[in-house]
Amino acid sequence: MAAEELRSNDLAVGSTDSLEDLATPFQVADTAVRGRVVRLAGAIDRILSAHAFPDGVSELVGEAAVFVAAMGSSLKFDGKLILQINGDGPARMVLADLTADGALRATAGVGGDEIGVRRGLSELIGEGRMMLTVDQGTDMERYQGVTQLEGADLATAAEFYFRQSEQIPTVARFAVGRLSRRGAADVWRAGGIIAQFVPSEGGVRDRGIATLQSDAEREIWARAEAFVRSTQSDELIDPDLSVNDLLFRLFHEDGVRVFDPKPIKASCSCNAGKIEAVLKRYSRSELQEMTEADGSISVVCEFCRTPYRFDADGREIGQ
């Protein structure tokens, strides 16, 4: 993976590639601080525009998409990273996943009319838990980490997850919002930055052993954490602020290496064949209960909202 050492005379302020659905890895100088900046434009607009979620729920789903894009973009095998959040609040579930080739999808389960103008993790999810699952394919064992939800927002909950489940010092900032365009409809944008202290390629020394083991390491991490926390929400979704500009602003005192970005795309794996396979598991009487007045069974993908129609025996009718 190619790396670029940022210097002040290397930067083109206001470059136009700042929001192109990318996850960009970086490393602070020669330290063990590594991270990713995620910028989502068309991908997150396609995901959120497919639903009619209240704004607060859309923002939380967008943050989940940023989180899974940041962590899943590091996969080095043909698999998938799945983020699932469950709770007892009006938004009872948030789900997002990213495949190794950058296919992103995200959705939420919303119950009742009590959401109103609620915003943020704690107000929408309530008490619950977060699960991160690494799916390495059918022939490999899944790895899953589970923690309780902790914090008012998803960034804080992500930090808590890695501190408790992996013992990896982590700092995160996420932002989701609409951008106005003259003469056109508003569009959703999302962005985020996650940094972690990982003293060896790909992870910690040993799970269960504190990572920061010296005063020098603690000082390095404290500086990086403070710099990331200084990131403003508008910087993460500003189409006129490139990733290089943002990272240089944060880490120019220490130096920062930026690696080749990974493209992210909104893509759903649903298809009629998969749904037919599910419908075949139901008995004839169960299929009859699903059948509508016109004799068809309607199914809508919970992620991309693509509609499918099947006959009373579970065979695709087509559009």
pLDDT at 14: 34
**CA gap 107, 271 in Å, rounded:** 17
The amino acid sitting at 190 is A
User: Which CATH class name applies to 19-266?
Assistant: alpha beta
Q: Over the stretch 179-207, which tens digit does the pLDDT of each residue have? A: 887 888 899 999 999 999 987 544 434 44
Q: Over the stretch 13-70, which tens digit does the pLDDT of each residue have? A: 333 334 589 999 999 999 999 999 999 999 999 999 999 899 999 999 999 999 999 9
Gap between the terminal Cα atoms of the chain: 44
- Listed in sequence order, the residues at least 6 apart from 237 whose beta carbon sits closer than 8 Å to its beta carbon are 19, 39, 175, 176, 177, 179, 189, 190, 191
**CA gap 226, 238 in Å, rounded:** 21
Q: What is the DSSP letter of 261?
A: P
What residues of the chain score a pLDDT lower than 70? Answer: 1-19, 112-113, 200-211, 318-319
3-class DSSP string for 270-307: CCHHHHHHHHCCCCHHHHHHHCCCCCCEEEECCCCCCE
Model-level pTM? Answer: 0.88
pLDDT at 9: 32
What region does 112 belong to: left with phi over 0, alpha with psi -120 to 50, or beta? left
pLDDT at 192: 98
* Cβ neighbours of 273 (radius 10 Å): 8
Asked if 279 and 314 touch (Cβ cutoff 8 Å), the reply is: yes
pLDDT, the chain, mean: 87
**Domain boundaries of the chain, sorted by first residue:** 19-266, 272-310
pLDDT at 1: 59
Length of the chain: 319
Q: Judging by beta carbons within 10 Å of its beta carbon (0-12, 13-18, 19+), is residue 149 exposed, middle or buried?
A: buried
pLDDT at 112: 63
pLDDT at 241: 94
**CA gap 307, 289 in Å, rounded:** 19
**CA gap 91, 109 in Å, rounded:** 6
